[in-house]
Amino acid sequence: MQIFLAQQNYHIGHFEYNTHKIIEAICKARDAGGDLIVFSELAVCGYPPRDFLLFSDFIAQCERCIAAICNEAKDIAVLVGAPCKNKEIAGKDLFNAAFFIADGAVKQVVHKTCLPTYDVFDEDRYFEPANEWNIIHYKGYKLAVTICEDIWNLGNNPLYRACPMDELIKHQPDLMINLSASPFDYTHEEDRKAAVKANVLKYQLPMFYCNTVGSQTEIVFDGCSLVFDGKGNLCGKMPSFEESLQSFEVNLDGTINGEILESVNNLPDLELNPVTLEAGLNIPHIYDCLILGIRDYFTKMGFTKAIIGSSGGIDSAVTLALAVAALGKHNVTAVLMPSTYSTNHSIEDAVKLSEQLGNPYHVLPIQPIYETFLQTLSPLFQQLPFSVAEENIQSRTRGNLLMAIANKFDYILLNTSNKSELATGYGTLYGDMAGGLGVLGDCYKLQIYELARYINRHENIIPLHILTKPPSAELRPGQKDSDSLPEYELLDHILYQYIEQTKGPDEIKAMGYDAELVNRILRMVNRNEYKRNQFCPIIRVSPKAFGVGRRMPIVGKYLA
């Protein structure tokens, strides 16, 4: 049987666009002699639709799209994801479903069993889990169809009580098909291989795994759809971070026609859980993720142009380079806003960077505005010593200027804050924390230096001086980040253990880190939740990003 996998980039709630894309792929697969085409989880409406699912009109539009797809499902069968109404009064009103369509009609509907409600997922809020499991008969094959999380319930500590394949295997299927919406993080490509391999080896069946691609606000889906034969060999892998339509031939004996890409013995057996910040990192894929995240955010929001505050520092330099790569040099404007505390080399570095990238830039000195603020506040400040208040006035002045330009010319302000700063509260609300999208908010400072080196892999786009000078906010004379924060070599590794690895203070101290330093850093993290709660969406690249995937109480006392 010839099976096509359609790895596509959908737009949540854009039903006409999504349906056109799905039907176009159906026609191509049918014209190429395909027997079955498989789409991803909730392809019709886009994933994750979240509270759109609470609107009856949203569900009605999904149903109309399924009807339109039925009209094209002739001489080829279709497996496509969409929400499905629960006919029973008890339980949630919807199922997360896979529709099997053939001969112009819906022949069977498969419901998702394992509903993830952790990290960025909240499916139990909307969906009822499956309560029956049946295979699909098609062209002499018996298909065991599952949806995303359904294949992740293996291992020594399963999250769910029911494993749908344990029920489906009783019907002696010939192959497994999984419709997925599995987000990118820098460990997840290998995690998927491990999960699919574990299923194949347990059930001794080939698997076709179709994942979505594209960015939906902060979550980026990287595709990487997979095909495994019945012995656990990888026989098909679709590209990362781009759409693709590919066909594969499967036989009743579990073999896949074509060459083996990776043998079963060379594939990972377990999900990755890197114990150090460096382990498991894939800078090229992080770079690709950030590019797609920026590009899709603008495209799907209907914007074309970005603005960035360019300081001559590493964070704004990397953000600017990424934005130019994603949107084009003429669509990204840099604004340099020096004050009396800005060093000449920072201004020169920022100018040189924009000249290298070819993007437009402007220089707007903020000293006159800053002095007006100080003069206005002088009666209240009563000649108190210079403090963070005066520092933040500069940052908020810059934020005001950037947002004024963004409003005037319909730009989106890209925020340049990194994960190290956001974790410790080293940023100014309504100042350098302003923006419509956080590009680097899930990258630690050390990772940003690695991204800069990757951007410079062919030529020095980012001036080398930006990579070598000590980082500084330049809000007071001679200021360095290290005046307020531990050195990033220590800070980032302790943050990683606390945030990604969820280790407590005693566990981190047992790793050899200074007890007082650990207490100080963890206190900074927990005391600055209120700042992160007001921050813009952050492109997610790690297994634990700030935002919807990490939910902490603002007024908690734990370690604060």
Instruction: List pLDDT tens digits, range 476-518.
Output: 888 888 888 999 999 999 999 999 999 999 999 999 999 999 9
**pLDDT score of 278 more than 90:** no
Q: How far is CA 262 from CA 193, 197, 270, in A?
A: 10, 11, 16
Report the 10 Å Cβ neighbour count for 399. Answer: 23
- pLDDT category of residue 261 using cuts at 50, 70 and 90: very high
Q: Does residue 302 share a domain with residue 185?
A: no
Last residue of a domain, one of 233, 266, 299: 266
Query: Among residues of the chain, what percentage have pLDDT more than 70?
Result: 100
| pLDDT given at position 173 | 98
* pLDDT tops 80 at residue 9: yes
Do residues 28 and 82 share a domain? yes
Asked whether residue 213 falls in the same domain as residue 335, the answer is no
Cβ contact 317:452 at 8 Å: yes
Q: Per-residue pLDDT averaged across 87-103, rounded? A: 97
Please tell me which residue in 62, 84, 114, 148 is annotated as part of the active site: 148
pLDDT at 136: 98
Residue 345 predicted with pLDDT over 90: no
Beta carbons within 10 angstroms of residue 319's beta carbon: 31
Backbone φ and ψ for 296, nearest 5 degrees, come out as -70, -35
Residues 389 and 311 in one domain: yes
- If asked whether residues 228 and 310 sit together in one domain, one would say no
Residue 491 falls within a domain, yes or no?
no
215 shares its domain with 296: no
pTM of the predicted model as reported, rounded to 2 decimal places:
0.96
Whether 148 sits among the annotated catalytic residues: the reply is: yes
Q: Is 112 a catalytic residue?
A: yes
pLDDT at 144 over 90: yes
Asked which of 456, 481, 506 is the last residue of a domain, the reply is 481
Provide the mean pLDDT of the chain.
96
Q: What is the CATH number of the domain that holds 70?
A: 3.60.110.10
Parent domain of 329: 283-481
* CB within 8 Å of 408: residues ≥ 6 apart: none
Residue 423: which CATH number? 3.40.50.620
Q: Which residue has the higher pLDDT, 281 or 191?
A: 191
User: Does the residue 519 lie in any domain?
Assistant: no
Lowest mean pLDDT among 20-34, 195-209, 378-392, 472-486: 472-486
Is the pLDDT at 96 greater than 90? The verdict is yes
Q: Which of 150-164, 230-244, 361-375 has the lowest mean pLDDT?
A: 150-164
User: Token pair of 428, please?
Assistant: 């100014």
**Catalytic-role residue among 21, 112, 300, 531:** 112
Query: In terms of domains, do 195 and 344 share one?
Result: no
Catalytic residue among 21, 41, 193, 391: 41
Residue 426: per-residue pLDDT:
96
Continuous segment of H or E residues that includes residue 21: helix 15-31
Query: Same domain, yes or no, for 309 and 361?
Result: yes
Q: What are phi and psi of 54, to 5 degrees?
A: -80, -10
Q: How many domains does the chain have?
A: 2
| Residue scoring higher pLDDT (556 or 101) | 101
